[in-house]
A and B are shown apart, each in its own frame.
Chain A
Amino acid sequence: MSAKTNNDWLYEITPHKKLISLNLKEIWRYRDLLILFVKRDIVTVYKQTVLGPLWYFIQPLFTSVIFTLVFNNVAGVSTGGVPSFLFNLAGITAWNYFKACFTGTSNIFRGNAGIFGKVYFPRAIMPLSITISNLLKFGIQLLIFIGFYLYFVFLGHDVSPNAYLMLMPVYVVMMALMGLGMGMTISAVTTKYRDLTVLVGFATSLLMYISAVPFPLSKAVEQLPKYAWAFEYNPITQIIEGFRFMTLDYGTFTWGGFIYALVFSVSIFLIGLVIFNRTEKNFIDTV
């Protein structure tokens, strides 16, 4: 009798935890919360603004215009036969998704300490909701990109995607995994050691430059042969460059670089997940 009743516990609260435990069943039970968080993230950002969701369009457009003016017109960086504006827009669209996932996740524990300190729900819901809401924003920005793409084609520019476009979903997943992995790691460490929060702010803007967002990778390798490794071994460069290559058929693509970026993003995600799991249990004591 007692042996039987001892076995059907619904769950157990213990100090130790498996290295990776994604309780998918539990996450499924909380799916409504996930949807509501995504909705909250999307809807509340531009509440009480006049332009509302138009801001989703304005931000990447202006950045592309500035990049075009500074890098291509002033500094004279050549983007081959591809219109500079379209080149920049492609880089920024891809970069923004990674950056949004990364910065969003990197503040999960500290930013939500108020909720996490009072209620339990699967903590993985938070990074998931950030990834999904940013995926929607990425979709919007991709639409803008396609719009301008068609516009430039209509103007008679010779741009077209190539067969590697099939890899697009893989690239999107890689961006998300990389952003999540790095974000979760930083988020976990900053619960105890705040040093990294200071770093994240300026590190992301620096990272953008060594990820070859505003210029082609070939240009960077050619101009700075001594530091070419910093660009080439940066997995984010591989993603950005690959994204531009398949959409604009301009730039470099190697299967080696692709595999490298894929392995890197999966590993960083798994590392991030392990650290996140270790932290979520007791972070409230130190945050």
Chain B
Amino acid sequence: MTILKAENISKQYRLGLVGTGTLKHDVNRFWHRIRGKEDPYSKVGAVNDRSTQAKEEYVWALRDINFEVQQGEVLGIIGKNGAGKSTLLKILSRVTGPTTGSIKTKGRIASLLEVGTGFHPELTGRENIYLNGAILGMTKAEIAAKEDEIIDFSGCAMYIDTPVKRYSSGMRVRLGFAVAAFLEPDILVVDEVLAVGDAEFQKKAIDKMKAISTGEGRTVLFVSHNMASIQNLCTRVMLLNNGMVDIIGNTEDVINHYLHKYRNEEVSQDLASRKDRKGNGKLKFLDYWIETVDGKKVNAMQTGGHFNMIIKVNNVSDFSLNNVRISVGIDDDQARRITVLGNDLTNELIELSNRQIDLIKILIPKVPFQAGNYHFTLFASEGEDVLDWVMNAGSFEVEHGDFFNTGRTIQQNQGNILVHHEFH
């Protein structure tokens, strides 16, 4: 049974400051409306792409979103920062309305965008459980029935009759989450950033979320950045990109699509001109390539072969960097970190003279990777200072090769690292 149906949801935002120009637009809009004409600004608006400076005054945070959710389904919503996830969440929670379109639902929606909403500092923990529960849509009787469980789950039993203003921030979060965890709506909308607090409570919170979403046939819409928890919880996933639905389908397909598409988009950019880098900028990664041991550039490594990875760096500063640490973190095509290469591990010294471009050569004898596509992150530091750090800086291909010198290799789904070993 379809429990929730979204049709042509769009949301337009106005960019820039609210000022006299806003009043002019409001008046114009009002003038159009009383003559029965369409909103003059509903036609304009840029696509929600945050990497470019907006040229128009209006932007579509969401554009023509359509989807259906079946009863008992756990739908994951993923996408890069700024893809429109939070806006969609807000519309589903009825915190803000859509500009066009409609969402029809057959059940009560409760949303958890934040824990402890509406806590009053002067009220005691117990009083706040009731207040917060009621804000989230529970009745007094429902809360009373679960009061003991909530207090127990929060671990704040000792302070439950103390005003919340005396609580530590961690206790406040725990109490807030405890109330939310005992909500029982037909449809639950959750933002994963909720799982906060210390490590122990985080685990408890995630377990509870899992229990909520898997047990009792509850319908859940779950927004997350964490592919592992999406994979773990969701039956279906929707991928948003620039405010539009990119793809919606079964979890594995969508996640693969997401990883390939966005990671490849990133690595296809010129490394020197990447803007999404961290560090103090004294050093800059410019380029990279793979070559054979005799210095011939190649497109791919071969399993079991000997290859050099060359990283071109520029010491932009006026001083020489005498003890640089360079790390290459290698990820597989599921964005799982599989290993790290680093001169701190091999205990080799790297010195870079001021205002000079250098080539750093990393020899990988007997390449241990299975055939496939690998991405890597580049990191450089000197002492405590991060010099340059580019996540997902590049990628390389590995082709089939004879690692064991027997013509054999491990099966496809048996991992992607080969280890030299001998039986005696």
Residues of A within 8 A of B (CB): 5, 8-15, 29-30, 32-33, 35-37, 40, 43-44, 47-48, 114-121, 192-193, 281-282, 284-286
Contact = CB atoms under 8 A, between A and B. Distances in A.
B105 A32 contact: no
Given A9-B106, A12-B104, A121-B137, A282 B113 contact: no
Interface stretch (B114-122, B219-227, B261-269, B339-347): B114-122
B134 A30 contact: yes
A119 B131 contact: no
Contact of B94 (A13, A114, A115): A13
Contact of A15 (B2, B26, B97): B97
A121 B93 CA distance: 10
B373 interface: no
A167 to B, nearest CB: 36
Contact of B95 (A32, A48, A119, A286): A119
A118 B113 contact: yes
A29 B134 CA distance: 10
B98 A120 contact: no
B134 A5 contact: no
Contact of A44 (B93, B100, B120): B120
Contacts of B94: 13, 120
B67 interface: no
Given A12-B102, A33-B135, A120-B94, A115 B13 contact: no
Identify the 3 closest CB pairs spanning chains A and B, nearest first.
A120-B94, A33-B134, A281-B97
Nearest to A13: B103
A119 B93 contact: yes
A40 B90 contact: no
Nearest to A281: B97
B130 A10 contact: no
Contact of B90 (A43, A192, A284): A284
B32 interface: no
Contacts of B93: 118-120
* Residue of B97, B104, B137 ringed by the most chain A CB atoms within 10 A: B97
A114 B105 contact: no
Given A10-B108, A40-B120, A119-B93, A15 B99 contact: yes
A114 B2 CA distance: 32
Nearest to B113: A118
Given A44-B120, A120-B93, A10 B105 contact: yes
Given A14-B98, A44-B120, A8 B106 contact: yes
B140 interface: yes
Contacts of A43: 122-123
B140 A32 contact: yes
Nearest to B134: A33
A214 to B, nearest CB: 34
5 contacts: A13-B97, A13-B103, A284-B90, A284-B96, A285-B96
A151 B111 CA distance: 55
B2 A115 contact: no
Contacts of A118: 93, 95, 111, 113-114, 117
B139 interface: yes
| Range of interface residues on B (Cβ < 8 Å) | 35 or more
A5 B2 contact: yes
A161 to B, nearest CB: 39
B103 A5 contact: no
Interface string B1-18: 110000000000100001
B105 A9 contact: yes
Contacts of B130: 36
B101 interface: yes
Nearest to B163: A47
A9 B104 contact: yes
B23 interface: yes
A198 B94 CA distance: 30
* Residue of B95, B100, B109 ringed by the most chain A CB atoms within 10 A: B95
B97 A119 contact: no
Nearest to A45: B122
Nearest to A11: B105
B106 A119 contact: no
B321 interface: no
* Residue of B90, B114, B130, B135 ringed by the most chain A CB atoms within 10 A: B135
A12 B26 CA distance: 26
A118 B135 CA distance: 10
Nearest to B10: A15
A44 B131 CA distance: 13
A282 B131 contact: no
B171 interface: no
B136 interface: yes
Given A12-B102, A40-B123, A44-B123, A119 B117 contact: yes
Contacts of B2: 5
Given A29-B139, A119-B95, 8 more contacts: A9-B104, A33-B135, A44-B123, A47-B122, A115-B135, A119-B118, A193-B18, A285-B13
Nearest to A120: B94
B206 interface: no
Contacts of A11: 104-105
* Residue of B108, B117, B130, B134 ringed by the most chain A CB atoms within 10 A: B134
B97 A48 contact: no
Nearest to A194: B18
Contacts of A12: 102-105
A121 B135 contact: yes
Contact of A40 (B131, B136, B140): B131
Given A13-B102, A33-B134, A44-B123, A286 B107 contact: no
B32 to A, nearest CB: 15
Contacts of A32: 134, 138-140
B363 interface: no
A115 B136 CA distance: 10
B22 A192 contact: yes
* Residue of B99, B101, B113, B137 ringed by the most chain A CB atoms within 10 A: B137
Contacts of B22: 192
